Structure formats: C-alpha cells, structure tokens
Structure 1
Amino acid sequence: MAAPIVSKIYCSSSQMMLAVRRRPHVVSGGGFVVTDCSQKVVFMADGCGIVGKPGELILRDGDGNALLLISRKALSMRKQWNGYAYDYEGLQKIVFCVTELSSFLSRNTPIRISVDLSRGCGRDWNFEIRGYFPERNCSIVDRQGNAIAQIGVKEEVGKVTRSKDLYHVVVKPRVDQAFVLGVVAVLDYIYDESTRC
C-alpha cells in the first residue's frame, strides 16, 4: 500500500500492534477502544448504540475527533459499507467501501474492500478478508495475497485464549491504521458484535 487512505499521520514506518477492547453496550452504547503498546487510546469505534442509527459507525481518533463515518448501503445481491473521511473543511469524502458478496454469513463468504473508487464501489477490489473474524483469526490481504493487517488473540505459553472482548490487530509498516480499524469496525458490525445494537 503506497498511499494513505484516511491520512498519512496514521501510517507508521514500523509494524504496529494495537489492542482492541470491546465496550459493554450497557455502559457506553457499544463499540470498542483501541490502544497502542503503551496503553494510550489511539482509536475508538462508536456503534449504533451511541450514533443512534442502525447501520452507521464512527471511527474516532484518541482525542475523540471523528475520522470516518461508515454507513451500510443495502444492494440487491450484496451488502455494501461506505467509509467517508472528513476533510479539513469538515466535508465527507468516500475513501473505501467494503462489500459482502453473499447474503449468507459463512466462513467462505468473500468480503472485499475497494479503495480505488474511480469505477464505483465493488467493481474492482484492492483488499480481501481471509480467515474468520468471529474467531479472531483473519487477515486483510491485498490482491497479491500479502497481508497488510492481521487480527488475532494473545497466545500464552501452551494455550490460546480466545475472547471477543480483547484481541489484537497487527498493522504492517506504511499501512494506514485508521483504514484498517475502519474495516475492523465493519467486520465487528457484520458479525453482530460490539458495534451493533
């Protein structure tokens, strides 16, 4: 990935491991908080419990400023999610779309991401989800099969602890972390987790 999708300030020259912690629906309306290795909050995803509209999500930076508005658009054969970034004037510009190619959620349902939107969303894809998000065992890969981000769980000596409440996202160098967490927020909603009401 050569160019940033949301902003170059979210592209690190080194690999980043981010911890994702689910927020309870009863306390804060759902969503999740993302911290870096020093436990500093770097992103927050607000689900429909906070936003107030089913099918809408907001990704914020660590200071609470909105970075992405993500909204679901129902189409006949597929479900599509559009990610809109805010420019310096506060206007929204579509920067990516996530498309589910089937109405049945299964391990084999292709979920593809488009960032080159010159021909429209879903016509050409740049990235794909490989693996199964509910098990916290998946990757975002480019068309050549190179992983740009991996979602997993912490492995302790001799065992793996799987939790929907805490997992990690490893983002490769020079990859836009805000874009990756926007895609994670969509996956979270698709699979009926913390961002969904």
Structure 2
Amino acid sequence: MYIASFLSEQDPKSIDISQQAHRRPLSPATDCSPLVEYDEKSTPQRFIRSGIPRTNAVDRQRSRLFSPPVPPPSPAEAAPAALTVWLKSLLFNCNGFTVFDSKGNLVFRVDEYARSGNKGEIVLMDAAGNSRLTIRRKKLSLGEHWQIYDGEEAANPLFSVRKYVKFIQSNSKSLAHVSPCVSPPGTASGSDGGEGFEVEGFYAQRCCQVYDGRRRVVAEIRRKEDVGGAAFGLDVFRLVVQPGFDVAVAMAIVIVLEEMFGSRRSEFRV
C-alpha cells in the first residue's frame, strides 16, 4: 500500500455544484421573492402582491422561478478515469504491469514470468486476479499485428491492433490502428462508426493519444508529474480515459504499444 500511495496522489475533491448554488447570492432576476407587478397608476412605482402576471418581464421571471431545475451531471460520470501505470510486476521474478487508480487502489495487473512458455500471449487481470482481457500476437501476418480477446477462453477477438508502417520518411505521428472486430459493450457509443481508433504520438516519450472516428480523444498517455521532489522515469506514467470508453481496453492498448515500441518489446515475442 506504501507503493500505491507513493505512485498515486489524491485527486482534488469534486465541487458540489448544488452547494455552490445555495451559497451564491441570487441576482434580482432570479430572486425567490413573491412575484410582483407594476401598477401604472402609482408614482413612484408601487408593487402589488399578485399571482397573475401582466407583463412580459414578470412572465420571464415566473418561467425562471418555476421551471424544473436541471440536475447537475454526476461527478463520477463526467470525470475521466486517471490511472497510474507502473511497468513492473508486484511479484518477484516477473515482468508485467501494475495499475493504480487515483486513490492508490490496485485496478489491473499483468504478471508474466520471465521464462514462462506463454510467449506471444499477455493476460490483463483485475485486482483479484480475474482475467479481463487477453492480448495475443497474430502469427504469419505482415507487420506487427495483435488481437485483444475477452477473458482467456474467447475464440473471436474484440479488437485488432496493427502497427503503422512508414514506407518512406514521414512526419506522421501515427503509431497504430485499432479496428473493432465486434461491437463490445463499454466502448464509446457510436464513436468508432466502424472506422476504429487511431493511436498517435510518441510512446517512447509517454505522450500518446487515442482518437475515435470523429477525432475525439478517448484515452491519453501522459508523463507522471513529479511529486514532493520525487522524479518519475518512463516506467511510471499516467493513463487518462474519457467517460464512455472501457478502461480495460485502454490498458490493453497500452500493453500493445509497449510490445511494439517499448524497451522490453522482445520479452513476450514468439
């Protein structure tokens, strides 16, 4: 737990919008005082309590006062998921990943023994050790081609990830293309449009973005900020996942990027 708290700092507490609204002083246009109307015969103005407005201004005031309030969005639904990824297994003599949430809780893990016979296959597990996704390298394919499966027993892949190949010198930031093989739950609804996702950036510098078919960022890899004078290297970084996109799928994409462009990319090769 010391490692988890060291790698993940607490996020700022979400602001209670409803409490803010109660504390904010009301303007005259939204004051909850009784409705008033203007009596043209009075000089100066005389305000008479009435339940029947006679002017457009009072109509607008009544509409503002008595229209049903719009509930604020839930902070859990609106806020992106900020994960801390550590390129290290918590088990001795293992290679892998350890992933914490913003509160320091273990979320995902990958434990691969250095001399295991499961080369070319990586299993993403949750904190309890249950298999979430399996990443397998496709054999006999041109270029690097990885597939993401649901659990360990699924026969059909959910996603196919191909490394972007630059035949000529180019300034393109494209790293890989993620194609959905099916329409799994948990991915951004209506975001891929059958076109899949593009991964762009520089993984070696821990600066990558995952774009959907509408060029919206659904996941992002960032450098870990220094905390309390402690500098983090490339083995510790952030994974920020937007609402509506499955964090397990985002983590699987990170694992594939490590296999394609990371310093340990030969450890799981066939």
TM category, shorter = 0.7 to 0.9
Number of aligned residues: 177
Percent of paired sites with the same residue = 28
Compute the TM-score of the two structures, normalised by the length of structure 1: 0.75
Listed as ranges, the gaps of 5+ residues in structure 2 are 1-75, 184-193
Matches for 1:132-151 after TM superposition, within 5 Å: 132-151=202-221
Larger radius of gyration: 2
Query: Is 2:144 the partner of 1:79?
Result: yes
Structure 1 window deviating more from structure 2 (92-101 vs 44-53): it is: 44-53
Q: Which residue of 2 aligns with 1:192?
A: 262
**For residues 80-130 of structure 1, what are the alpha-carbon distances to aligned partners after superposition, in whole Å with 9 as ceiling and x for unaligned?**
10111038xx544411110113288x9745410011449xxxxx6410111
Superposition pairs for residues 103-122 of structure 1, below 5 Å?
A: 108=173, 110-117=175-182
Q: SS of the counterpart of 1:37?
A: coil
Give me the whole-angstrom Cα distance separating, in 1, the residues matched to 2:143 and 2:247: 26
With over 3 angstroms needed to count, the CA separation of the structure-2 counterparts of 1:91 and 1:112, relative to structure 1, is closer
Distance in 2 of aligned mates of 1:13 and 1:21:
26
8 Å Cα contact 1:48/1:196 also seen in 2:
no
Aligned to 1:97, which of 160, 166, 175?
160
* Distance in 2 between residues matched to 1:93 and 1:116, nearest whole Å: 8
Give the equivalent residue in structure 2 for 1:181: 251
Q: Are 1:30 and 1:196, in contact at CA under 8 Å, matched by a contact in 2?
A: no
What is the match of residue 3 of structure 1?
none
TM-score (ref. length: structure 2): 0.57
Contact 1:84 1:94 (C-alpha < 8 Å) held by counterparts: yes
One-letter code aligned to 1:37: S
Q: Residues of 1 paired with 2:113 and 2:120: CA distance?
A: 7
5+ residue gaps, structure 1, are 1-10, 119-123
Deviation at residue 56 of structure 1 after TM alignment:
1.5
**Cα distance, 1:51–1:13 mapped onto 2, change above 3 Å:** farther
Which residues in structure 2 correspond to 1:33-52 (within 5 Å)?
A: 33-47=98-112, 49=114, 52=117
1:82 aligned counterpart, secondary structure: strand
* 1:6 corresponds to: none
Q: Does structure 1 conserve the Cα–Cα contact (< 8 Å) formed by 2:87 and 2:98?
A: yes
Q: Specify the alignment match of 2:241 in structure 1.
A: 171
Residue 57 (structure 2) aligns with: none
Matches within 5 A, 1:1-12: none
CA contact (8 A) 2:89 2:111 kept: no
Q: Match of 1:131, as an amino acid? A: G
Q: Give 1:36's aligned amino acid.
A: D
Shift in CA distance, 38/24, structure 1 to aligned 2, threshold 3 Å: closer
Q: Cα distance, 1:30 vs. partner?
A: 0.9
Structure possessing the higher relative contact order (Cα contacts under 8 Å, 6 or more residues apart): 1
Letter in 1 for 2:253: V
| Structure whose residues are more often strand by fraction | 1
**Separation of aligned partners in 2, 1:58 and 1:178:** 11
